[in-house]
Amino acid sequence: MKLLLFLILLILCWPVALLALVLYPFIWLILLPFRLLGIVVGGVFELIGALFTLPARMIRAI
């Protein structure tokens, strides 16, 4: 799908398509720390949720 959109952009406005092709790796590198931060925050929320539900799971297991 992304390739099809890129080809349409290349046909309609090739300078913008070439600029997007050159800038995409730099934008990916800039956004990488935010992606990693999102993974870490999601893991912390999962851990907190598991800690809160642990007593209920232990009581249910008895």
Question: In the block, which residue shows the tokens 């893991």?
Answer: 43
DSSP string, the chain: -HHHHHHHHHHH-HHHHHHHHHHHHHHHHHHHHHHHHHHHHHHHHHHHHHHHHHHHHHHHH-
Q: Which pLDDT belongs to residue 62?
A: 79
Six token digits for residue 52: 């809160």
CA distance 21 to 32: 18
Residue of 50 and 2 predicted with greater confidence: 50
Q: Please write the tens of the pLDDT for every residue from 11-56.
A: 998 898 899 889 999 999 999 999 999 999 999 999 999 999 998 8
Six token digits for residue 13: 């406005």
Domain count, the chain: 1
Residue 11: domain span:
2-61
